[in-house]
Amino acid sequence: MNGGADLGGMMGFGPVVDSAEASALDPLFHADWEPRVLGMIVAIGAAGKWNLDQSRFARESLPPADYMRFPYYRIWLEAAQKLLLERQMITTDELEAGRMISQPQPIRKRLAREDVAAALQAGGPVDRPADRSAGFAVGDNVQTINIHPESHTRLPRYARGKAGVVTAILGFHVFPDSNALGAHGKGEDPQWLYQIRFSARELWGDDCNPRDSVTLDLWEPYLERG
């Protein structure tokens, strides 16, 4: 979707850092609640009530003005709360009362302390056995499609309808546009994934340094022969 998360190429947000030294000294957390949100959201992933792409879509569906001004862990919190409510794992009455009122929903697993290390180590690989050969080869010229779905996509606005070159074949990976739709889509619907290089001039115009480029990792359905 064309939401607040699709930030590439926007202007007016100000400087990134005051200096390299300031970056090195900046703590990873700025308030006590931030690490709790991080830990809660990593842990509750084990419940199996949503997938990675559904959680990303919940974040990017926040009102754009909120998305752009909230601290990052607040974005995570708001999205998690939305998912918990949507799946009726909690209710607004419970949030107001601060205690359990309705019966819990069944979950796949409650992550225990002793299982954390194994769960972090296992991660969540998204490569799948390929059931077809790749449609593009390294060196092929490609053109990205021009789409504006209201649902989840990982093709940012700034790279739609642009010409690039295949620089690597990265594997056969879960397709986020479908995976985010859950039961309403084709599930994981894995697709070939490529690294595509675009010249900075193709993306941003002739004022750019001719040596500069941007790569994006894009699935085959986003690409046409260039």
Tell me which residues in 43-62 interact with other proteins (CB under 8 A): 43-44, 47, 56, 59-60
Closest among 109, 102, 56, 97 to 79, alpha carbons compared: 56
Tell me which residues in 149-208 interact with other proteins (CB under 8 A): 154-156, 158-159, 168, 170-171, 173-174, 176, 193, 195, 197, 203-204
Asked whether position 135 contacts other proteins by CB under 8 A, the answer is: no
- 6, 188, 202, 220: which one binds other proteins (CB under 8 A): 6
Asked whether position 117 contacts other proteins by CB under 8 A, the answer is: yes
Nearest distance in Å: CB 140, other proteins: 18
Report the 3 state secondary structure along the chain.
CCCCCCCCCCCCCCCCCCCHHHHHHCCCCCCCHHHHHHHHHHHHHHHCCCCHHHHHHHHHCCCHHHHHHCCHHHHHHHHHHHHHHHCCCCCHHHHHHCCCCCCCCCCCCCCCHHHHHHHHHHCCCCECCCCCCCCCCCCCEEEECCCCCCCCCCCCHHHCCCEEEEEEEEEEECCHHHHCCHHHCCCCCCEEEEEEEEEHHHHHCCCCCCCCEEEEEEEHHHEEEC
Contact region with other proteins (CB under 8 A), list: 121-129, 137-145, 181-189: 121-129
Bridge-based pairing state of the strands 163-173 and 191-199? antiparallel
- 2, 63, 88, 107: which one binds other proteins (CB under 8 A): 107
18/131 with CB nearer other proteins = 18
Nearest distance in Å: CB 103, other proteins: 9
Tell me which residues in 15-34 interact with other proteins (CB under 8 A): 15-20, 23-24, 26, 28, 30-33
Contact region with other proteins (CB under 8 A), list: 73-81, 134-142, 143-151, 180-188: 73-81
36/132 with CB nearer other proteins = 36
- 65, 92, 121, 184: which one binds other proteins (CB under 8 A): 121
Asked whether position 142 contacts other proteins by CB under 8 A, the answer is: no
Asked whether position 148 contacts other proteins by CB under 8 A, the answer is: no
Nearest distance in Å: CB 112, other proteins: 5
Distance, CA of 166 to CA of 168 (rounded, Å): 6
Distance, CA of 226 to CA of 157 (rounded, Å): 19
Contact of 136 with 192, CB cutoff 8 Å: yes
Tell me which residues in 75-94 interact with other proteins (CB under 8 A): 77, 81, 84, 89-90, 94
